[in-house]
């Protein structure tokens, strides 16, 4: 665990903090957590296109259900 300065109030906080305990600023350390969600979204789109072109329609609802499950479980 490293200490960094909050982008809003400039006080020392953990680099793992999701909210600054001093000022309440969201993601004060500037962690880029959205990149994994973007990669997962691209994977779902690729699965959708593969299903669309191959004619396999049973995989699509499973892929959509997985996307919804993982997008809500990360919150």
The model's pLDDT over 8-50, given as tens digits with 9 standing for 90+, comes to 899 998 888 888 888 988 887 776 555 555 677 777 788 777 7
- Contact present, 28 and 19 (Cβ < 8 Å): yes
| CB neighbour list of residue 33: distance below 8 Å, 6 or more residues apart | 27
Query: For the segment 31-40, what is each residue's pLDDT rounded down to a tens digit?
Result: 655 555 567 7
CB atoms inside a 10 Å sphere around CB 66: 14
- Parse the chain into domains and list their residue ranges: 1-31, 32-75
How far is residue 20's CA from residue 42's CA, in Å, rounded to a whole number?
Answer: 31
According to DSSP, residue 19 is labeled: B
Q: Whole-prediction pTM value?
A: 0.40
CA distances from 73 to 22, 42, 55, 60 (A): 27, 18, 30, 20
């Amino acid at each position: 665990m490293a200490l960094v300065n909050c982008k809003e109030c400039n006080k020392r906080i953990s680099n793992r903090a999701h909210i600054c305990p001093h000022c309440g600023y969201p993601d004060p350390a500037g962690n880029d957590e959205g990149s994994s969600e973007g990669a997962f979204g691209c994977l779902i789109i690729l699965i959708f296109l593969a299903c669309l072109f191959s004619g396999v329609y049973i995989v699509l609802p499973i892929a959509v259900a997985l996307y919804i499950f993982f997008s809500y479980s990360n919150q």
